[in-house]
Structure 1
Amino acid sequence: MPISQSVGRDGTNLRREVQYVQALLNVFRAERGQTALDLDGLVGPLTIEAIEGFQSAETGIVDGRVDPGAQAIGALEQQTAGVLDELRAVTMFALLLSHRPVEEEPPVVEDPVLDDKELQDLVQSIFAE
Structure 2
Amino acid sequence: MAASDSAAILTDGCQCGKVRYEVGGPRLGLYVCHCRECRKQSASAFGISAFFRSAGLRLVSGELQSWSRTTKSGWRLISFFCPACGSRVWHGDKDREAEICIKGGSLDEPPDLTGAVHIWTSRTLPGVIIPEQARRHAEDPD
TM-score (norm 1): 0.23
Larger radius of gyration: 1
Which structure has the highest helix share of the two? 1
Larger RCO (CA within 8 A; separation ≥ 6)? 2
TM-score (norm 2): 0.21
Which structure has the highest strand share of the two? 2
